Amino acid sequence: MLTKRLLLCAAALLIASGSLHASTPKSMSEPTSSRTLAADAPDHAPFTEALGKHVKNGKVDYKGFKGDKQFAAYIESLKKVDPYAIDAKERLAYWLNVYNAFTIKVVMDNYPLKSIKDLGEGNLVVGTIFKSTVWDRKNVDINGKTYSLNDIENNIIRKTGDPRVHFAMVCAAKSCPPLRTEAYEPSKLNAQLEDQGRTFMAQTSKNRFDFAKKEATISNIFNWFKGDFEKTGQPVLEYLARFLPKEQGEQLKTDSKSFKVDYTEYDWSLNE
């Protein structure tokens, strides 16, 4: 979950010196050819079992994942799925699980480490500009095609138009939303995304509100991806109000335009 947010940071630094020109990423849209729906949808139950064993309160036991043969088998099963032979809701759940499972895999394959960003070449800004971060590596093999984590996030998942996906993708950093102890399932995906939003907004180290002073200090996710949330037709704070306790949510929705907004510093240390 990185390219968009880091490019924004890098652009801010380099535009000031007149050395960066904006570019538009290539789209990786769904193939236009029609396909028959797969007889069997992906089975995410093994991922739920692994998450239940190795994730506690959002903290990830990467050593545990590394020795989990069932998780290794689940990774292999994801590679064999044709994501365009399943329906749209199943597809979104599938890609969210792919993103999170392969993020876990890249960390466990290089564990121990202090931060997933350390796996890239050069510092974070330079790596983002030259596409040499860990998120740019084409190391996710799906149905005979190779993707990077950035491909999956920016060219597939975000293109669904549902900003709640930012609550679901976990890039192995402490400031990310917490990793769930269950896989995403199409039958309850909407409820899971709503719950992720409430859980993330309740983490006061990442999002907090002072209603007396009318000040909001929220995650940089809402800064980096502001446009994704505003595409809903609502300003960011107004959209986020639904994920707060009822009384606070109603007050924020009513007074959102009068709130001063600041952003919490993003902690890239490993979410373990």
pLDDT digits (tens, 9 = 90+) for 206-217: 999 999 999 999
Average pLDDT of every residue of the chain? 87
Q: If you average pLDDT over residues 228-242, what whole number do you get?
A: 98
pLDDT at 9: 46
What percent of the chain has pLDDT above 90? Answer: 79
Residue 173: count other Cβ atoms within 10 Å of its Cβ.
18
pLDDT at 1: 55
Sign of the torsion angle spanned by Cα atoms 17, 21, 27, 28 = negative
Q: What is the pLDDT of residues 100-141, one digit of tens each?
A: 999 999 999 999 999 999 998 765 655 566 566 899 999 999
Q: What is the pLDDT of residues 49-75, one digit of tens each?
A: 999 999 999 999 999 999 999 999 999
Q: How far apart are CA 116 and CA 25, in angstroms?
A: 23
pLDDT at 25: 35
What percent of the chain has pLDDT above 70? Answer: 81
* Confidence check: pLDDT of 240 > 70: yes
Q: How far apart are CA 193 and CA 187, in angstroms?
A: 12
Q: What is the pLDDT of residues 81-98, one digit of tens each?
A: 999 999 998 999 999 999
Q: Are 259 and 214 in contact (CB under 8 A)?
A: yes
pLDDT at 32: 35
Whose tokens are 């995906």? That residue is 189
Q: How far apart are CA 76 and CA 88, in angstroms?
A: 22
Q: How far apart are CA 98 and CA 33, in angstroms?
A: 23
